[in-house]
Amino acid sequence: MKIVHDIPFLHRENDKQQEERQAPAELKFVGSQKKNKGHILFSYNEKTGEWKQAEVKRNVEIGVDGVPVYKTDVTKEPNCIYIQALNLNNAKKKLKKL
């Protein structure tokens, strides 16, 4: 019978791999809103005071019954408030009301 000693550098690599596996990115559900037909989603950055049209990504998935299901995702940016409005002036008015 042969006795094999623990090799410390192998344990360090395994510990790093386990830490990477255990620390996934945290996802939080911020909320959802039904899209109004004809409205545009604007984003307002609180720090810079910049208004711009939000980036929206539309994904298509095929459901169980073979019918396509459409989902829209918004790329969220830090320190931004998202407002749906017909135009930019109406978005500014809605933000003042909030």
Model's pTM, two decimal places?
0.62
* pLDDT value of residue 40: 94
pLDDT tens, residue by residue, 12-64:
555 556 666 665 666 666 677 788 899 999 999 999 999 999 999 999 999 88
CB 68 within 8 A of CB 35: no
Residue 26: its pLDDT value, please?
66
Comparing CA positions, the residue from 71, 68, 94 lying closest to residue 81 is 94
Rounded to the nearest angstrom, the gap between the alpha carbon of residue 76 and the centroid of all alpha carbons in its chain is 5
